[in-house]
Copies of this chain bind each other. A is one copy, B any other.
Amino acid sequence: MTQSPDLIIGIDGGGTSCRAALLFAGRRVEMRGGPANAMRFDEAMGTIAGLLSGLATQAGLPPGALAAARAHVGLAGVMTPDMAARVAAALPMRDVTVTDDQPTTIAGALGAQTGAVAAIGTGSFVGRQSDTGIRVLGGWGLPIGDQASGARLGRRLLEEVMLAIDGLRPHSGLTRAVLADHGGTGAGIVFFSATATAADFATLAPRVVAAAEAGDAVAAALMAEGAGYIAACLTALGHAAGESLCLMGGVGPAYARWLPPGMASGLRAPQGSALDGALILARAEGCP
């Protein structure tokens, strides 16, 4: 390898903002910029170009110096190898790997440790890092996946309300309360659900979490469903009892009490951010 081992770049980009960090000569400089979702390619590459220029200036390096860095770029919207290759080809760094933001989230949470991450917000994915690398399950979106997500909890709750209206399942305090909030008839819920986005359904997730903790039978069953999916993913990924497990995102920590005890025994706080993860992956991928 001919490039300098002294320049390491990590980038974590999403639909709202993008963060970039440069490690050099024992120092770390960092910047934040606008959106960088790979599905809006030109905007993303413009944001990243601006951040790279800013990092070089902060570090007192000539603009072309970053081409010799090792870099890892984790961008939301990188869904295929083709997309990753397209992003890589548009970057000045010659030694760069590109993924979506799942591996960077996992590497940041776990540092160098073997362990797993369940990232559960509006959407959901479950991943594990070991000495053979990072593997991720899920993250396919509400219509056909994200089985533990806030959006799925909300959608399943409304399905249970309608089944209770039809007398096919029992009502609970939560299903009655949600029905009352929509005017007391199924029609209100049908109107809501016909146009609801994943984010709209996810607004119901905090009520499912709170009701489940208070003993509501329907809510508890939904949390158990989601936890069952997380546990199935962890088992498929080879997660061992007691091994590190980080529950992340707005809903993730709420699943702690619904997981099997062996899995829950490994629970710990994430070590760092997805930007930290991008730096870790940049360094690791530069190693022989």
Contact = CB atoms under 8 A, between A and B. Distances in A.
Report copies per complex. 2
A161 B140 CA distance: 11
A145 B162 CA distance: 7
Interface stretch (A15-23, A181-189, A270-278): A181-189
Interface string A190-227: 11011010000000000000000000000000000000
A48 B166 CA distance: 32
A194 to B, nearest CB: 6
Nearest to A158: B144
A185 B80 contact: yes
A168 B233 contact: yes
A162 B144 contact: yes
A33 interface: no
Interface of A: 79-80, 137-138, 140-141, 143-145, 155, 158-159, 161-162, 166-168, 185-187, 189-191, 193-194, 196, 232-233, 236
21 contacts: A79-B187, A79-B190, A80-B187, A137-B167, A140-B162, A140-B186, A140-B190, A141-B190, A141-B194, A143-B155, A143-B158, A143-B194, A143-B196, A144-B155, A144-B161, A144-B190, A145-B162, A145-B190, A166-B233, A166-B236, A167-B236
